[in-house]
Amino acid sequence: MDLQLKMIAFALLIFQVSSSARAQSGVFDISKYGGAPNGDITQPLTNAWKDACASTNPSKIVIPTGTYHLKQIELKGPCLAPIEVQVDGTIQAPEDPNQFDGEAQWIKFSYINSFTLSGGGTFDGQGAIAWDHNNCAETKICKKLSMNFGFGFLNNTIIRDITSKDSKNFHVNVLGCNNITFTNFKAIAPGDSPNTDGIHIGRSTGVYITDTNIATGDDCISLGDGSREVNVLNVKCGPGHGISVGSLGKYQEEEPVQGLSVKNCVLNNTDNGVRIKTWPDTPGTITVTDMHFEDIKMINVRNPIIIDQEYCPWNQCTKQNPSKIKISKVSFKNITGTSGTPEGAVLLCSSGVPCEDVTLADIDLKFNGTPASAKLSNVKPIIQGKSLLLNSTTTG
């Protein structure tokens, strides 16, 4: 982990130096393109992006303080030099979900090398009106709602000092990226807002999430298939559904998930703590390996530690056949605090491909003042230090 921390620090230093250089290079203020507070900046931002992206010198687009309105937009590369968008104000999305293509995102950055989004600004998705329509998983009859951010196919990117507020759907979708860092990032929405996941990652390598606060109605951070070398450090999560790997295995063409480190995090009043979930009786056959959770504080978390290989929400599948996803090299170390249920750990592994090399070390979770128990199925964990497994049930 020390090497990972050094890598993060080095990456931040490089971005800070490059940002300083950009400030002295080409600056493209949207006010020069007709963007004004309380106005629609969709076209001014589009025009500023076109000019900045075409610059052969590092460039910065500035959105000054004030409140602005912005329609759905894609800011696309490749650009000719490093580019930064500095947002100092508040940008509001249209409230009406019908003004969006629900398959995309409200603001999408794609196919860019050396990109920075900074400035301390807020992106307000104004999702409250739309959330009543966001029940696709249960009803299957609804309009898909747009996410606040899409970061697609970016290389060497940093998102810092930015707030994502009240997204209509996920706050952030990271897809096909390499070396992307979120630092001092916030994603906020009411605890009862549906599907407002904080940061969802898929098919990306080298994702760093540090010093970040996520309080939403769904997963704080979730890893989809193809996620590799993901590092989560000093993150506060809650309310929400916790930090999740998956769900996985529903589709044949999924890619393996490998290399997750979650360290020095606090989960407060979340439904789940740290979780790996896979579907049973589905075609996916990928592997999930090198998952490590360490130095984590749980505060009244309903299900602090979970491996669930029978994940089947709203009866969307059957459990006639076990999950084909192989889980191995997983560790839960120094996880302390309070559980909202008697079972502090539930490791429900597949009977077809049992979990291997799972470690539980120094687990100190209390339920109503007494040690929480563990429920184990198709796994024989390695026990180190304190353990709630002294009070456990085992099957398989």
Just list the catalytic residues. 241
- Hey, what amino acid is at 378? N
Q: d(Cα 45, Cα 139) in Å, to the nearest integer? A: 37
Q: How far apart are the first and last CA of the chain?
A: 34
Structure tokens at 278: 């896979």
Q: d(Cα 384, Cα 332) in Å, to the nearest integer? A: 10
Spatial neighbors of 368 by CB under 8 A, at least 6 apart, are: none
Strand 370-371 to strand 356-367: parallel, antiparallel, or no bridges (unpaired)?
antiparallel
Structure tokens at 393: 């049930």
- Hey, what amino acid is at 137? A
Neighbours of 107 (CB within 10 A): 25
Closest CA to 170 of 142, 151, 184: 151
Q: d(Cα 394, Cα 105) in Å, to the nearest integer? A: 44
Angstrom CA distances, 319 to 305, 313, 328, 351, stand at 22, 12, 22, 11
Phi-psi category of residue 132: left, alpha or beta, with phi > 0 → left and psi -120 to 50 → alpha: alpha
